[in-house]
Structure 1
Amino acid sequence: MSSLPALHRGFSRLALSLCLLFSLPLAAAEVSDKGFQQWIKEFRQTALKEGISPEVFDRAFKGIDSPDQWVLDKASYQPEFKAPVWQYFDNRVTKRAIRTGRAKKEELAPWLDKIERRFGVNPNVLLAIWSIESSFGAILDNDKVIRNVVRSLATLAYADPKRSKFGRQQLLAALQILQSGDIDKDHLEGSWAGAMGHTQFIPTSYQAYAVDIDGDGRRDIWNSVPDALATAASLLSKNGWRQGQTWGYEVTIPERKLPAGKLSLREWEKLGVKRVKGKSFPRPGDIAELKLPAGREGPAFLMLKNFFVIKRYNNSDRYATAVGLLADQIGGGKGLVQEWPRPFTPLDTSEVEELQQLLKARGFYEGEIDGKAGSGTRRAIQQFQKEIGVEAEGYPSKEVLQELRKRQ
């Protein structure tokens, strides 16, 4: 090397440096894969001690030799926008969801009746959960978001320190599900975090609540809608669902400050909290808690026992409220009296889809055309607004849609 001309030596050193630089990710990946494979071998011993047969384990992990980077990306993703209240509900309590829910209610009436007789859960609530969890099963056909559950959970257990314990626990439960024969490896699919089937149960919740109501000998929440809805009903029933009762009431509130905590509906009425449209409370002795999801400017609710039971499905006030509101409208209700406070004129689902298509045509939007105005859609709107020289607030409004239409 010392005999080479200086320029040649410089290029040689640069080439060597570049080779080392670009080989690092590959080397790291190879080490990572070997480490993952070693982890699988070690976890195999744990699984066998817990009663998983060698045949089931080896079949489950056949072809899995590296972590799923997409799962890790999803686990570490922090959305740019924290969804405001109006966005959360606009994306879930939609005209399309209501229309589809009513059609499914008619289509599945015999099964829903059977499930209600067995578990006492309002079918409209089950349909609302089905809608919010998987868009009535549509998400199960989306290869971009549905993954092999064994690989996803093994990835979390091996490579995500925050979710390692969760991943190991759920992976073991997933192997037990395979061993039970309820589903085979090729169909054991779910979200990046292992939520499975039409009603999105993690493996341990599946084990606790899964039901075979169609009588085929398998608790199949992936392919049997009756099993999936019955499993959701099982969860709600076992957590204290009160048959024949609602989840909550929309109310009006007085200007003065109100106490926190739970009171009877009768006591709330004495404090000036009234049911909307002058309606009375059918059971004034029921205990309720006042919730203001959007503050005093938005709708107010007195939440009953069933609201808190829904939260056992997903421990979020917004989630349980969305389920309740959607369920009421699937059942023929008219929706809210007091709308969510929005700083713009909202769009319905088909209009949001048109908005997304027009943004995609201009190169601003790369996501799915799904009618849901999430962070990707709002970011694309901001880019469009910057292009046309207006304030880039990112709202999915009729005004933005009109501007896009003008520029087709």
Structure 2
Amino acid sequence: MEIAVPKVHEVENARFQAWVRAFKRRAAAQGIRRDVLDRAFSGVHFDPEVIRLDRNQSEFVKPIWEYLDSAVSDSRISSGRKALQEHRAVLERIERHYGVDKEVVLAVWGMETNYGGFRGRNNVVRSLSTLAFEGRRASFFEAQLIAALRILQSGDTTPERMTGSWAGAMGHTQFMPTSYLEHAVDFTGDGRRDIWSDDPSDALASTAAYLKRFGWNKHQPWGVEVRLPQDFDFRLAQRSITRSPADWARLGVVGMDGKPVPNHGAAAILLPAGGRGAAFMIFNNFKAIERYNPADAYVIGVGHLADRIAGGGPIRADWPRGDRGLTFSERKEMQKHLTAKGFPTSGVDGRIGPKTMAAVRAYQLANGLLPDGHASLTLLTRLR
């Protein structure tokens, strides 16, 4: 049955349906059966809301302090501790089996779906096909769409049950389809890798398996809040520069208690709000969480939420709360200005990742500014 599409989107939907027809031919050539394609795309139309949400992901748009206020709220901490008590037995079995801290698994669950409270109601095929058609990351989302169809073809679930986020992430801990195919596990032993079930066991175990696969070390923190000396060389605050905690201590970088951070291995210094906000010493476990979502705000959110569920305290440093975060269009504008001035950002996508931060730092150094790599409104004003 066809679903009505608002008239303002009729032209776009006509183009979308032409894309779907061409995609079905590509999918069939990759082994997807015609009956699977027909059922999966029944009633599927272009979804403009998905595109709007893709342009405004909170972990890339909100200032870090606003993001953390929500991600690690008092209610989410208390709900996490309650979930720990309710699911302690299975979480401890998962921790023993995979060597991934139960609080970290819980924190991913809390961040992704508020402990299963909202797993997403979007039709995954509709969301992924809309994003693949729109084209900003066409190859990525088309690969995800093919993977979703493989899941349906294998009988793991049905199109009706395959619901998730606007971006196509599914289940309690929001696995993308390719991640599901590669890493989901049947922890309950019922013969199905059921991350959609009301029972979160398979989803939580799949998350632990995923983090373990990407290097999680149970004997290492994701990161530790640190205090920088007044004469700290901000050029050292880069992900590519790592030192042992002892070496950082010799440079004056210590824990918030004033003592050297214990030797958990090589670490970098991260300044998510520049030189005027909290500083973190981050370890390899940061990279493992980053495989779930590459935004620094997300990784800090998961790590800090896990710490709080385990009984740790809040972030102690102040944030520059008077500053306004850059909008998506302003971030793109900053990338354009930096590139035009000879500080290339390797693309204009509105996301402040390591390459853009490196370009910002290079510009700051060239212009006698504090080289903290922070993309601020003040910096954009100067670039203009």
When the two structures are superposed, what TM-score results if normalisation uses the length of structure 2?
0.75
Aligned to 2:276: 297
- Which amino acid letter does the alignment assign opposite residue 257 of structure 1? F
Change (3 A) 1:327 1:37: same
Aligned to 1:161: 135
Q: CA deviation at 1:76?
A: 4.7
Q: CA deviation at 1:333?
A: 1.0
Aligned to 2:127: 152
SS in 1 for 2:267: strand
Aligned to 2:30: 50
Structure 2 gap ranges (5+)? 1-5, 324-384
> Do structure 1's residue 275 and structure 2's residue 237 form an aligned pair?
no
Change (3 A) 1:217 1:281: same
Q: CA deviation at 1:74?
A: 2.9
Deviates more, 1:252-261 or 1:321-330: 252-261
Residue by residue, what CA displacement relative to the aligned partner does 1:217-252 show, whole Å, maximum 9, x if unpaired? 111222241111112111211111112221121111
Aligned to 2:304: 325
Aligned to 1:244: 219
- Which amino acid letter does the alignment assign opposite residue 41 of structure 2? F
Distance 1:176 1:328 in 2: 37
The structure whose Rg is larger is 1
- Which amino acid letter does the alignment assign opposite residue 175 of structure 2? F
Change (3 A) 1:74 1:301: closer
Which of these residues, 64, 72, 77, is aligned with residue 93 of structure 1?
72
Residue by residue, what CA displacement relative to the aligned partner does 1:47-69 show, whole Å, maximum 9, x if unpaired? 222122222222212233x3223
CA contact (8 A) 1:183 1:218 kept: no
Residue by residue, what CA displacement relative to the aligned partner does 1:123-170 show, whole Å, maximum 9, x if unpaired? 111111111111112222x6xxx3111112222223x12233233211
Change (3 A) 1:41 1:296: closer
- Which amino acid letter does the alignment assign opposite residue 159 of structure 2? K
- Which amino acid letter does the alignment assign opposite residue 49 of structure 1? A
Distance 1:152 1:216 in 2: 29
Residue by residue, what CA displacement relative to the aligned partner does 1:256-288 show, whole Å, maximum 9, x if unpaired? 12334111111011111111224553326x111
> Do structure 1's residue 229 and structure 2's residue 207 form an aligned pair?
no
Distance 1:338 1:293 in 2: 12
Deviates more, 1:271-280 or 1:99-108: 271-280
Distance 1:246 1:113 in 2: 18
SS in 2 for 1:184: coil
Aligned to 2:82: 103
Structure 1 gap ranges (5+)? 1-24, 345-408
Report the number of matched residues.
311
Of all paired residues, the percent bearing the same amino acid is: 45
Distance 2:259 2:200 in 1: 36
Aligned to 2:330: none
Compare the two structures and name the one with the higher helix fraction.
1
When the two structures are superposed, what TM-score results if normalisation uses the length of structure 1?
0.71
